[in-house]
Amino acid sequence: MTGSNKHPDAPWRNFYGRIHGKTLNQAQKDYLQEDLDALSPGAVGWDINPDRQPLDMAARFQGKPVWLEIGFGGGEHMVHMAGANPDVEMIGCEPFMNGVAMLLGKIRRLGTQNVSVYPGDVRDLFDVLPDASVARAFLLYPDPWPKKRHHRRRFVTPEHLQPLARVLQPGAIFRVATDIPDYVRQTLAEVPRHGFEWLAETADDWRQPWSDWISTRYEQKALREGRTPHYLTFRRLG
């Protein structure tokens, strides 16, 4: 059960990832203490929104398009996309607090204004996002869960894809990047079943990064270790 799921009315949701890693340095602790609350997208957690009232997206984001990054790692891609798209509001969801602290440090140094952060399970965020409220979503180098018995823990399963499809607008783009061939297989098998079409036009499309892509620390590690990145683009039907 995730930390945000401890309310007595919250559903039981298994959570398999890490929440904490190495001890945070003092600056990172300060970022979490001083900056995180102001970057909240709204009342997401069960402790503050037990009735699961939908977020008021118009009030929070002034009618701007909203893009969602699911598991932003250290936040390199988040701040890059926010800076390149100042008329878009980015929401990042990440339960690993070390990654959250890293993102907050980048936001503070760069003065990024159009980023909101939910430090928890994206399923809790899906609960309160209104239908068709998100214009684009990113799933970049998610936890691969390589053992076959753990494949059900991957994001590309009905438990996650059904609510993702609900919150995405018709025509919204969903980008997936991974260096794990079996994750590609499962993604191509599962995502189209939930109201998406794969936009590849040539055999080489999924090997070419997007034109606005910034290579992350994880991707650089994968390249050094000889793994091949794959870039999959889907469009929400409807």
> Which of the following is catalytic: 51, 56, 124, 143?
143
Annotation says 143 is catalytic: yes
32: which 2 tokens? 């979490």
- H/E segment holding residue 233: strand 230-236
> Strands 196-198 and 66-70, how do they pair?
unpaired
CA gap 11, 71 in Å, rounded: 21
CB 234 within 8 A of CB 176: yes
CA gap 65, 111 in Å, rounded: 20
CB 69 within 8 A of CB 47: no
- From its phi and psi, is residue 203 left (phi > 0), alpha (psi between -120 and 50) or beta? alpha
CB 18 within 8 A of CB 90: no
CB 37 within 8 A of CB 114: no
Altogether, the residues listed in the chain come to a count of 238
52: which 2 tokens? 């699961």
- From its phi and psi, is residue 66 left (phi > 0), alpha (psi between -120 and 50) or beta? beta
Active-site residues: which are they?
143
